[in-house]
Amino acid sequence: MSKPDLRFVPEQMDAGWFTDVLRHIGHDVTVEAVTSHPIGTGQSAHSERFTLSYRGEAGRAPSTLVGKLPAPDPTSRATGHTHGSYAREIAFYQDLEPTVSIPTPDCFYLDFNPENSDFVLLLEDLAALQGDQMAGCDIATAKAAMTSVAGLHGPRFGDETLLDYPIFAAARAASQVAAGSDQPPMFTMFWNEFVKRYEDRLSPAIRDLGEAFLEHYPAYASEYPGPKTLIHGDYRLDNLLIGGPLETPSVHAVDWQTVNVGCAAHDVACFIGAGLQLEDRRRSEEGLVRHWLDALGEFGVTDYSFEQAWDDYRWSSFAGYVMAVIASILVVRTDRGDDMFMVMAHRHGQQAIDLGALELIKNGR
């Protein structure tokens, strides 16, 4: 059976189209009706839950699916295309997910047009709770998140063939071109606009940190010299689905638009820095880094010392701060988005201050 036409607007994804999709992937069913409603809080893409009713027996066909689709907002959608983030998410499910062990929703179906980044992902509906970055989480959830992300980092840790994947080879070539141009990095370009937009909400200490960091940003952004692996790139509570009992929660990662090759501690610092309230983070971060290292050991990663991991974690504490500045300017502005970016900037800024990260970057690796 030929592949169905590419549809990515919920109103156009009707019963006939879902029937064609499900038959294409091996379900001999007829979809009689489809209802849907938006879910999630994403700004760079759109998520929709589809409920399907069938004529006759449904067999093993799903009753609900989560559709990941391009953002309806033109600015966010253009960003997803020009920065390759939609292509990265497709590449993760198509090429990378089978090679790692991080829990993610199963992907039933995907389609992608590389010319304009129109795409559709139909994912397993886990009916789990989306994490709330602004509220934060408890230590049991944080430990589960560390175990989960080790399943991304561990299987490909130190794997030099990762850069052979087309999505990363193309991005590396583009970054080398950008590095040789006179164009300043996005953090530098967007900093003044970020400060002007949020001047009434940024604390003096967090603003001053950014001003001091500007001078040293090139050193921060230099290529990581240690063992590289797959990283999520935006591993935070809003991008996790949490289920199971409170004492032993399960954590599934979604939103793979920033998947990359780099320093594994980037994901660890992103999660801990924004996912925990201040005092919880200060009390627990060393133990959580050790817990993550132990989980890496289950994948045979035994030559990455705590001392190296801790320095990488300290260095990476600026990652969420940088993300807050860049993403806040690139995506469509919303009230919740503004609140979230302020949480990111302040929590990660304080994390970097507590860890002496700026001094580490000044002294070099």
pLDDT score, position 75: 78
Distance from C-alpha of 333 to C-alpha of 325, rounded to nearest angstrom: 13
The answer to whether 276 and 134 have CB atoms below 8 angstroms apart is no
- DSSP code per residue over 20-71: HHHHHTT----EEEEEEEEES--SSEEEEEEEEEESS--TT--SEEEEEEE-
Decide: helix, strand or coil at residue 122. Answer: strand
Q: What is the mean pLDDT of residues 234-258?
A: 92
Place of tokens 């991008």: 239
Out of 44-48, 80-84, 108-112, give the one with best mean pLDDT. Answer: 108-112
Q: What is the pLDDT of residue 299?
A: 98
Find the mean pLDDT for residues 191-220: 96
How far is residue 23's CA from residue 32's CA, in Å, rounded to a whole number? 14
> Residue 76: what pLDDT?
80
* Percent of the residues in the chain that have a pLDDT greater than 70, as a whole number: 95
Q: Is the pLDDT of residue 11 over 60?
A: yes
pLDDT greater at residue 174 or residue 349: 349
Q: Cα–Cα distance between 58 and 113 in angstroms, integer? A: 30
Task: Compute the distance between CA of residue 141 and CA of residue 144 in angstroms, rounded to an integer.
Answer: 5
pTM (2 d.p.):
0.93
Q: What is the DSSP string of 99-161?
A: G-------EEEEEEETTTTEEEEEEE---PEEP-TTT---HHHHHHHHHHHHHHHGGGTT-GG
pLDDT at 128: 81
| Residue of 357, 363, 43, 312 whose CA lies nearest to 210 | 357
Dig out the tokens for 134 from the structure.
């602004």
What tens digit of pLDDT does each residue of 48-59 get? 999 999 999 999
Using DSSP, state whether 108 is helix, strand or coil.
strand
Helices and strands in the chain, H and E counts: 13, 10
Strands, sheet with 64-70, edge to edge from the N-terminal-most edge strand: 31-39, 45-54, 64-70, 118-124, 107-113
- DSSP secondary-structure letter at 103? -
Q: Which pLDDT value is given to residue 177?
A: 44
pLDDT, one tens digit per residue, over 94-152 is 999 999 999 999 999 999 999 999 999 999 999 788 899 889 999 999 999 999 999 99
Locus of tokens 């983030």: 85
What local confidence, expressed as pLDDT, does residue 154 receive? 98
Instruction: Give the residue-averaged pLDDT of 320-344.
Output: 91
pLDDT of 44: 79
Rounded-to-5 percentages of helix, strand, coil across the chain = 50, 15, 35
Query: Alpha-carbon Rg of the chain, whole angstroms?
Result: 21
Reported as a single tens digit per residue, the pLDDT across 173-204 is 655 545 555 567 899 999 999 999 999 999 99
The predicted pLDDT at position 78 comes to 82
217 touches 184 (CB < 8 A): no
How many angstroms separate the CA atoms of 300 and 290, rounded?
15
Task: Count Cα neighbours of 297 within 13 Å in the Cβ-side half-sphere.
Answer: 11
Q: Are residues 127 and 47 in contact, defined by beta-carbon separation less than 8 angstroms?
A: no
What mean pLDDT comes out for the span 213-226?
94
- Is the separation of the CB atoms in 258 and 85 below 8 Å? yes
Q: Is a pLDDT exceeding 80 seen at residue 70?
A: yes
The Cα–Cα gap between 321 and 343 comes to: 10
- Structure confidence at residue 351 as a pLDDT band (50, 70, 90): very high
Summary mean pLDDT of the chain = 93
| Domains recognised in the chain with CATH numbers | 10-124 (3.30.200.20), 129-363 (3.90.1200)
- The CA distance from 36 to 4, in Å, is 20
Rounded distance between C-alpha atoms, residue 73 and residue 92, angstroms: 24
Rounded Cα distance, 198 and 195, in Å = 5
